[in-house]
Structures are given as C-alpha cells and as structure tokens.
Structure 1
Amino acid sequence: MTDLINLMNDLLWGSILVYLLVGVGLYFTFRLSFIQVRHFKHMFLVLKNSRRVDNSGISSFQALCTSLAARVGTGNMAGVAVALTAGGPGAIFWMWVTAMVGMATSFAESTLAQLYKTKDDDGNYRGGPAYYMEKGLGMRWMGILFSVFLMIAFGLVFNAVQANSITNALTTAFGFQPVYVGVGIMGLSAFVILGGVRKIARTAEIIVPFMALVYLAIALFVLVINIEKLPAVITLIVKSAFGFQEAAAGGLGYMVAQAMINGVKRGLFSNEAGMGSAPNAAASATPYPPHPASQGYVQMLGVFIDTIVICSSTVAIILMSGEYVPHGEVTGIELTQRALNAQVGDWGGIFIACAIFLFAFTSIIANYSYAETNLVFLERNHKKGLLIFRMVFLCMVLFGSLATLPTVWAMADVSMGLMAIVNLVAILLLSGIVVKLAKDYNQQLRSGKVPTFDVNDYPELKSQLEEGIWDQPENGDD
C-alpha cells in the first residue's frame, strides 16, 4: 500500500502537476496579457481599500490574511531549506519564476470563486472551486470530488502535520511534553474555529501581518549585516539555475533539471496557486472595487508575498550564514535554525520555534475554514454536519501532535494533487469568463470609473449566479 501511494506521489508531483500547473500558469499569463506584470502596482492600490465589509462577508484584507495564513506555514522555513539542499541554489530562481507565473492562475481561480459565490443558512458568503464547478460548468459531481479531496488533505491530514511541526519545535526549544502541547493546540484551535469563518478571519487579520513583519525584520537585519555578500548570492542563484556553476564539472543537464524540479515543486507547494485552496477565502470577501476581478488582484498579491517575499527571506538567512552545504545532510528546519543561530546567536533557535508556532497555528485554522466551506457545499449550503466535522478535526490536531505516520502524510499529498488537477481542468474550461471579467474591469478602470460588476451586462451568466448576490453592486461600509 505504501509503495502504491509513493508511486502515485512521484507520478503526480514528479511530472504531471509540475507541467500542468506551470502550463496553466503560462496559459493565463498570455491570455491575460501578463496581468501580474502590467498591473503589479494595482494589486497594492486594491489593498488600500481592502478593509471595507458588509454583513454577509469578511473584508478583502481578512480574505488575504486567511489565504496567507494557509499558505505561510512551516514550508516557508523548512521547505525552502529542502529545496536548497536537493536542487541547489538554482532551485530558488525557478521557485521565483513559478510564483510569477502562478500569480495569473491565482487571479483566474479567485475571480471565478468571487463571481459564483452564494450564501449559507446564516447569510454568510460561501464559494470556491466546488461552487464554480457546479454553477459555472453544471458539474456538481466535479465539485463533490474536489470537496472530498480538499477535506481529506486540508481539513484533516495537513492540520495534523502542522500540529506535529509545532509540537516538535516547542519540545526541542523548551522541553515541553508533547501531550500538553497537543492539548494546548487543540484548545486554541477549538476556541477560534467555534466562532466560525468570521472569527478565523479576525484572528488571521491580527496574527498574519504581525508574524510576517517580524520574520521579514529578522531577514532584513541578516541582509544588512551581510550586505557585501548579496551580489555573490544573487549571482550564485542565477548561475546555478542555468547550470553555469556545474558546466565545467560535466553535470550541466542533471543539475539544471534538479534545480528546476525542486524549485517548481517548492513554489507550487508554498503559494498554492492553482490548487483551489485560496479561492475559498476569496469567495467569502466583500470586494472593493465591487467586481469579482478585484479579488483576483488581492490573491495575486498573496502569491507574491508568500513566495517572492517570505520564502526569499529564508533563502537570505540560509545562504548568507555559511551553514549551507550543497547536498549536505543537514536540511529542513534544522538548517534554517542553524543558519539563524549563526547570524544572531542562540536565541535564533527559540525565535524559529515561536515562528513555527504562529505560522503553523494560523495554517491550521485557515485550512479548517476551507474544509468548512466545502462541507457546506456538500450539504447544499446547510451546516448540519459541522459539529461532527469539528470534533473529528480537533481529534486529528491532537493525533498529529503525538504521532507521525508518513503513509498518512503521503496520502494527503496524493489527495491534494488530485484536488489540484480537478481545479485546473475547471478553470481552463471557464477561462473565457475570466478573460471577459478582466477586460470589463480594466476598461472601467481606464475610463476613470470604480470598476463595478453589473450582472445585466452578462445575460449568459445571469442564470448561473445566485439571485441577489450581484443584482445590486455592494459598495460596503468602512
């Protein structure tokens, strides 16, 4: 059984998804005329008005923080180190390329999620890939498939993985007993998730900017005290990406392939563009400007912050420390801890432990919110099974704190891979709508208007959208 799961993982993540995710990203990059480059500044302008909200949704800023909470986890510290040791410094260049391409994919899936959103029993916005598969494609079976895969991966197993990372970090740094750490994580998680999507969003809104800014401040400090090394580090990354470092040794083709594969995989795992996870948060937002495409811009920014900013901070800490050894035995979070210790002293390890706690905990609650939305979809916007699912979720958090079952983690990777394939097929089939919405938004922007979605301009879509959601543009309140 284990061999079969590992074989499926190798097939999915070693070939199919690498090509499919990058290919879809390039497709949307060209169809949207390099929107992530042309409108790079506009992402930040949209963020300026992102605190507006109404009674049915969370703010765009809260949606961004929720998606970042899920994206920014232990992988940003441990995963980057693994990519470096497995693929060399060149992997970082391809990680950057993957993120830039993935921004266009993120625009597409988040725009669609916002367009096809609905309301649940409590009047809160719900939406995501499952909803645009049902409403946009008329394929509820496809949405059910996606929801099941997401609930297994994000709702259950990956939360156990994050809890396990917290337990290991706190046990190593402070000597805490795993069972007490597990009970503590479970209690904190219960306190947040029982308050629903809005409480999760409010928690993410507070913790995510704080943890990101502190981590960036540490990385900036490391960069400043090692500023003379910066040109050499950038040169090393670029040369390794194209094999110039290895050409003389005769390993050009192999090293370039390893750099590309590991960099692309790290980028895809980290920013989740195309996975279909972040759109669940995007759909819950009250957009401003009141147009589905505005959420596309917000979530594009999320990809940029996760990979280009936060992952690059880890790269700077490691490559400027002198601790990095190509293909060395020390990798993952241990390499990151050693690198920071070398730069700032022994408290670096304690800081990493605290950072892991914040990064992983926010991932747990954000992943839960994604799973909750997909459970609501399965129950046709009702919430009957929510209490039972929350109990199972909390049990998995405790289980993950106390046990490690590599086969279970591998099954989650397979589930996430299948989830991504289903989502990518759906957004390709709906790509024409994405292009129409992007053009409509930008035409209004160029004419000096605040882009506003008018459902009457899209008679072909009117029957697909939930009545009342887009009939009157929602300007929101501050």
Structure 2
Amino acid sequence: MNHLEAILFEMRHLLWGSFLIGLIAAMGIYLTISLKGLQFRYLFHSLHLLFFPQKHKLNPESSGDLSPFQSIMTALAGSIGTGSIAGVAIAISIGGYGAIFWLWVTSIFGMIIAYSENVLAIKYRVQNEKGQMSGGPMYALRDGLKQPLLAKAFALFGAIAAFGIGATVQSNSTAGAIDTLFSISPWITGIIMALIAALVVLGGVRKIGQIASVMVPLMTILYVAASLAILTVNWQNILPSLQLIITSAFTGQAPLGGFVGSSLLVAMQMGSARAVFSNEAGLGSSPIAAANAKTPYAALQGMLAMAGVFVASLIICTMTGLVLAVTDSLGLVDSAGILITGAPLTIAAFSQNLPGAPYIVLGCLVLFGFTTLIAWAYYGEKCIEFLLGAKSISSYRLVYLSLIIVGAAANLHLIWAFADIANGLMCIPNLIGVIGLIKVVRYETMIYEQFLLSLADKYFKITKTPI
C-alpha cells in the first residue's frame, strides 16, 4: 500500500466510522419520529406511485423539465449503479455478510431522509437563465436555511464527488468486468464509454431522463430475474444465509479462505457506506434530479424518492448479497491465488448455477454503470453551475468525460476510497439543511396528506351505494 492509499483509507475510516454512521442514524430516527413513521405508513403508496405512474397521472402541467417518473428514473439511474453489484461484493469482502444487515438498517432510515431532501428540492427550486429548473440541497441551504457558505460547500463537494461516484467508479467496475471476461484493455472500454456518454450528456437533462426511463426498468427487471433464478436453485440455503447475515452483523465474521475476517464496527461501516452509495439517501444528489419534476406537490416527489431507496438498496443490493451468500462465494480466489472481490466476485457467484450468467451480470453491470455515469454527469454540472455559472459547464463536462477514461484503468480500492470520502463530505451540509428545514418538510407533507384525503373522500362518495 502506497502513501496515498494509506491516507485515503484512513480518511475513509475516520469519516465513515462512528461519526457519519451515528449522524445518519440519528437523523433517520429523528425524521422517522418527527414525520410519524412516514416511510412505513406510505410505503405501499410510494411503491404504487413508482410502479404504476399511469394510474396517478404523474405528468401534470406544472413547472419542470421532466415528468415525475422520468425524474425519479434519472435519480435511480444515479443510485442503481455498479455499487449494487461491485460495491456490495467489496463491502462483504471487507465487512463480512453482516454488512448486508447494516445496509438494511441504514436504508430504512435512508428512505425518510430521501423523502425529506427531495421535498426540499421541489420547494426551493428556481428557474435558471436558460429557462430550466435548478434545485437541490445547495438551493435549499441558500434560500431556505439562509446559509450560502454551506450551500457552496455542498456544491463543491458534489462537483468533486461526481468525478468519483460517477465517472471513475462506474467506468472502473465496468472495464474490470469486461477485461475479466473478454480480455479487452480497460483503456479501450473507458474511451468507448466516454464517447457514448458524451452523446447523451450533451443532450441535457431531457435526453438523460428519456434514456433513464427506459434503461432503469429494463436493467432492474433483468438483474432481479437473474438473481431470483440463482436463489430458486439454492432455495435451501436462503434461510441459513439470512441467519448468517443477522448473526454476523452483531458478532463479526471469522476468516473464510482468503477473506480476512471482520469486526462489528467494520461490518457497520461497510454496510452503511454501501447503503448510502447505492441509494444516495443523505448525499443530496437525487434531489438535483427531483428539482426537474413536473409535479404540483413537493411531497409527491418525496414519495417517489422514498420508493427509489427501497428498490435500490432493499431489493437490488439485497439480491446481490443473497446470491453471494447462498452460493458461498466469499473467499474465492482466482487462478493466481488472489482473493476475488468487486464485480468479478459477483460474476463468479452467478456463474456457479446459471448458464451464461457472466454475460447477464456483465450486461447489467454495463447498464447500471452507464446510467449512473450519465446521471452523475448532470449532478456535477448543476453543482458547478451553482458555483461558477452556466458558462463553466462545458469545461466541467470535458474533465468529467476525460476521467471516465482514466478511471477505467485506475486502482480499484483507491477509486472506491476516494468515492466514499467524497460522498461523506456531501452528507454533512445536506443533512444540516434537512434538519434545519424540518418544519418545511412537515408542512409540505401535511398539504399532500390533505390532497390524498380529498381523493379518498371523492372516491368513497362516488363508489358508495345506498344500503
């Protein structure tokens, strides 16, 4: 390990140790109490909004550039990335299967955090000089909380974080998987990804939203179907795997093969970091996409964001973790005796029982990585626009696209450490904004609940028949 790696790993440990884990947990608990368990009370409603948007007429004539469905698909494109495949495998390799349990816990509280930050994104969005909607934590911090320095800090961290979680991590995991299966140089994969991304990114948020609304449902269905096939074949291992996940969460895990073993703190650290990385609740990134939604109610977009966290972490990441567990893949080594981790570990797990699995996982990985890559390009653009104005976007795009190429061939662990640090720095000002504007969130929630009650009254008056 070189000096730079040692510094980054230590920074990640300090940031994602008890500090951020405690902050996110405390925030989630506080919001859950303050909003009366909203993520539980409205879970099915939020999922219905997500899966059956046509029944809710989610394309009203309201200000915005995207329909609410396109907006949440763009946000999901940013969150359901290679972290759901490669990131979960890395978390388990370092933190043991107990990391999955802490991913669940963090995600449950993350649902209410995502709801709140997306409500604020709609509430404080503005129209930029091009007539497009701009929003996110930086606007809520500046215009709602009246804290311009915190707003600039978030925008700065967000612009930098996009280089990690967006450009480099996605290209690195995708290129690594392609190299493993086809022996294609990561440099070539990086160049191709950058060229295709340029075509989409230059089309702006509408093009990103259109592509995301098609690709995200497709890749989600494909990956879940493949995972369910593995779980069906290994059905007898599902219950023992769940028991292992729960027990390891509180006791740590002993060494297995090339696996070094983990402590309770490491399991919590890796599970929480992967949860935030996969669903982005607390980061403040998804609200940037939410600000473009054509919606008459801020809380409606919050509901969709809440459902997005459920899908990204409690479904997609859980599928990856269970597949690794039921196939007993932790500790596998390659032909050279080196411990397998990241995307290759997930591919190896799927390959044990599903013909053609490496290509299915690779296809999902490419789709996951690409959609995240283009979504985060937009997040970074909006952050740099807030800091330096719209004229800075072209230069930012050039740097972003260049880093896709560089990231494809970079060191895997170095890239993930950098991404985790950048994510953690985004969390701090964003969570300050959410806690400081909780009264606004409660008010917008009350408005939406009154709307739902009016719909219920109208429905029952129409359908009620005399006895």
TM-score scaled by length of structure 1: 0.85
CA contact (8 A) 1:157 1:396 kept: no
Q: For each residue in 1:76-102, what CA deviation from the matched residue of structure 2 results, as whole angstroms up to 9, or x when unmatched? A: 112222232333323222211111111
**Which residue is equivalent to 2:464?**
none
| Equivalence map 1:170-189=2 (5 Å) | 170-189=178-197
Q: For each residue in 1:29-54, what CA deviation from the matched residue of structure 2 results, as whole angstroms up to 9, or x when unmatched? A: 11111101011111033332365155
CA distance in 1, matches of 2:108, 2:332: 26
CA distance in 2, matches of 1:408, 1:261: 17
CA contact (8 A) 1:88 1:326 kept: no
| Equivalence map 1:301-450=2 (5 Å) | 301-325=307-331, 329-345=339-355, 347-379=356-388, 383-404=390-411, 410-448=417-455
Among 95, 108, 119, the alignment partner of 1:100 is: 108
Q: AA paired with 1:30?
A: I
CA distance in 1, matches of 2:401, 2:71: 23
**Which residue is equivalent to 2:74?**
66
**Which residue is equivalent to 1:80?**
88
CA distance in 2, matches of 1:5, 1:79: 17
Identity, % of aligned positions: 36
Structure 1 stretches of 5 or more lacking a match? 247-253, 452-478
CA contact (8 A) 1:56 1:123 kept: no
**Which residue is equivalent to 1:13?**
16
- The question of 1:274 aligning with 2:282 is answered yes
Change in 2 beyond 3 A, CA 1:222/1:170: same
> Secondary structure of the equivalent of 2:16?
helix
CA contact (8 A) 1:102 1:273 kept: yes
CA contact (8 A) 1:50 1:61 kept: no
CA distance in 2, matches of 1:157, 1:448: 41
CA distance in 2, matches of 1:128, 1:20: 20
* More displaced stretch, 116-125 vs 399-408: 399-408
Q: For each residue in 1:7-37, what CA deviation from the matched residue of structure 2 results, as whole angstroms up to 9, or x when unmatched? A: 3222111221111111111111111111010
CA distance in 2, matches of 1:361, 1:340: 21
Change in 2 beyond 3 A, CA 1:137/1:152: same
Report the number of matched residues. Answer: 439
CA contact (8 A) 2:162 2:376 kept: yes
Among 115, 119, 124, the alignment partner of 1:111 is: 119
| 1:369 shift after superposition | 0.9
| 1:428 shift after superposition | 0.8
RMSD over aligned CA atoms reads: 2.5
**Which residue is equivalent to 1:463?**
none
Q: For each residue in 1:401-459, what CA deviation from the matched residue of structure 2 results, as whole angstroms up to 9, or x when unmatched? A: 244486676444333222211111111111111112112221332243799xxxxxxxx
Change in 2 beyond 3 A, CA 1:9/1:295: same
> Secondary structure of the equivalent of 2:17?
helix
- The question of 1:231 aligning with 2:234 is answered no
- The question of 1:198 aligning with 2:206 is answered yes
* More displaced stretch, 257-266 vs 71-80: 257-266
CA contact (8 A) 1:74 1:162 kept: yes
**Which residue is equivalent to 1:217?**
225
Q: AA paired with 2:342?
A: G
Change in 2 beyond 3 A, CA 1:352/1:408: closer
- The question of 1:26 aligning with 2:36 is answered no
Q: For each residue in 1:269-327, what CA deviation from the matched residue of structure 2 results, as whole angstroms up to 9, or x when unmatched? A: 2211111111101111112xx21111110000110000110011112221121323499
* More displaced stretch, 155-164 vs 167-176: 155-164
* More displaced stretch, 419-428 vs 400-409: 400-409
Change in 2 beyond 3 A, CA 1:223/1:414: closer
Structure 2 stretches of 5 or more lacking a match? 255-261, 459-467
CA distance in 2, matches of 1:190, 1:11: 36
| 1:199 shift after superposition | 0.4
